[in-house]
Amino acid sequence: MATITLENVRHTYAPRPRGPQDWALKGIDLVWSDGGAYALLGPSGCGKTTLLNIISGLVRPTKGRVLFDDADLTDVPTDQRHIAQVFQFPVIYDTMTVYANLAFPLRNRRVPPAEIERTVRDIAHMLDLETELERRASRLTADAKQKISLGRGLVRSDVNVIMFDEPLTVIDPHVKWQLRSKLKELHRRTRRTMIYVTHDQTEALTFADKVVVMHDGMVVQTGSPVELFERPRHTFVGHFIGSPGMNVLPCRLENGAAYIGETRVAIENPPVRALDSQRLAIGVRPEFVTLAEAGLPVSIVRVSDAGRCRIVEARLGDSRIRLLAEDSVSIPDGSAFVRFDPARTRLYADDCLVE
């Protein structure tokens, strides 16, 4: 059990990196506290797996350090780091039984047989694999195989962190939910640090206490699911989390007040000092935009039904804006006015929240 610290970790796969585009990770500072349930969220190719492999030691970072508590483990090989990892596709040892699969990490570490027996039965019980113990692992379904991969991490008592690299990709949708709640339950029972990599916001938000959002080799925000939703610190987080994502509307500042077109918009974070940034924008989630008698003039383009509510798509000048409307609200044809909730409307300079 340990706190894991990444210190200015940078990584490139190019032998001679030229520009920032060659870096898969562009300077990451993160602390994973012991016992936390983390999600690492980001689109494909943003460096999530690289970051995971750096923690597990499968990849050595080009620059920076990896610390477990106070020990520098940057150059320590994988098998001495006391970590476990579950991969995207279930990795099992085909020729072994389920029992032998679960016992494998312990046998390799020369744990006494009696203890192996006890631990394996215990973990099999937790994972509902007790009845399958004597079966060939290769004959099980994909989700049972994925449970075995997870079990191989859980049997070891010395594991600092269990990492999941998009582990539910190959699992049927109706079993996904079960496995996810199983993971959550296991986390509560074992109190092991877990890091869950995914590009699926639902998975990340339901599993984790803390979500780390990555974009283009950088961490753009770390926070609880609520914080990410309520107060995105980067327009990317606004886009990526929430469905539909946050509206980002170009604006300008005049005497400290924000204007879209000719209309003044009240914002939660008026800048306290002069901004020297080129691109200013207002970010507001569709949940906090309402149709009103007066306000910003828009023309409604499309209304689509999303079950409990409707998504209204409208044009505002040159940009597009979306809002959610309850079923009871009548939606006018053509032109209308919208209002933003001032407490949830924020100014972004060069994609970053103005603070």
Partner 1 sequence: MDTKIQNQKGWLFVLPALALVALNAVIPLMAVVNYSVQETFSSNIFFFEGVKWFEQVLHSERFHAALARQLTFCAIILAIEVPLGVAIALAMPRRGPWVSVCLVLMALPLLIPWNVVGAMWNIFALPDVGMLGRTLKNLGVDYNYTQQPLAAWATMIAMDVWHWTSLVVLLAYAGLSAIPDAYYQAARIDGASSWAIFRYVQLPKMRRVLTIAILLRFMDSFNIYTEVLALTGGGPGNATTLLSIDLVKIALGQFDLGPAAAMSLIYFLIILLFSWVFYTVITRGEEAR
Sites of contact with partner 1 (CB under 8 A) = 53, 56, 58, 77-79, 83-85, 87-89, 91, 93-96, 104-105, 108-109, 136, 138-139, 149, 152-153
Q: Please, are residues 201 and 241 in contact by the beta-carbon 8 Å criterion?
A: yes
Q: Where are the alpha helices (DSSP H) in the chain?
A: 48-56, 98-108, 113-126, 142-154, 173-190, 201-207, 225-230, 235-240
Q: With 0-12 CB in 10 A as exposed, 13-18 as middle and 19+ as buried, what is 173?
A: exposed
Q: How far is the CB of 142 from partner 1 (least distance, A)?
A: 14
Select 78 or 157, whichever has its Cβ closest to partner 1.
Answer: 78
Q: Please, are residues 40 and 85 in contact by the beta-carbon 8 Å criterion?
A: no
3-state SS, 135-173, equals: CEHHHCCHHHHHHHHHHHHHCCCCCCEEEEECCCCCCCH
Select 166 or 351, whichever has its Cβ closest to partner 1.
Answer: 166
Select 94 or 318, whichever has its Cβ closest to partner 1.
Answer: 94
Q: How far is the CB of 166 from partner 1 (least distance, A)?
A: 12
Residue in 258, 274, 280 with CA at minimum distance from that of residue 340: 258
340, two tokens? 């933003």
Q: Please, are residues 32 and 210 in contact by the beta-carbon 8 Å criterion?
A: no
Select 94 or 293, whichever has its Cβ closest to partner 1.
Answer: 94
Q: How far is the CB of 105 from partner 1 (least distance, A)?
A: 4
Q: How far is the CB of 109 from partner 1 (least distance, A)?
A: 5
Q: Please, are residues 328 and 317 in contact by the beta-carbon 8 Å criterion?
A: no
Q: How far is the CB of 332 from partner 1 (least distance, A)?
A: 55
User: What SS3 state is found at 239?
Assistant: helix
Q: How far is the CB of 156 from partner 1 (least distance, A)?
A: 9
Select 89 or 337, whichever has its Cβ closest to partner 1.
Answer: 89
Select 61 or 238, whichever has its Cβ closest to partner 1.
Answer: 61
Select 121 or 136, whichever has its Cβ closest to partner 1.
Answer: 136
| CA separation for the pair 250, 193 (Å, rounded) | 41
Select 195 or 338, whichever has its Cβ closest to partner 1.
Answer: 195
Q: How far is the CB of 59 from partner 1 (least distance, A)?
A: 10
Number of helices (H), then strands (E), belonging to the chain: the values are 8, 22
To the nearest 10 degrees (0 to 180), the angle between helices 142-154 and 113-126 is 130
According to DSSP, the residues that pair with 193 across neighbouring strands are 161
Residue in 199, 173, 165, 213 with CA at minimum distance from that of residue 59: 165
Select 104 or 236, whichever has its Cβ closest to partner 1.
Answer: 104
Q: How far is the CB of 140 from partner 1 (least distance, A)?
A: 11
Rg of the chain over CA atoms, in angstroms? 24
Q: How far is the CB of 98 from partner 1 (least distance, A)?
A: 13
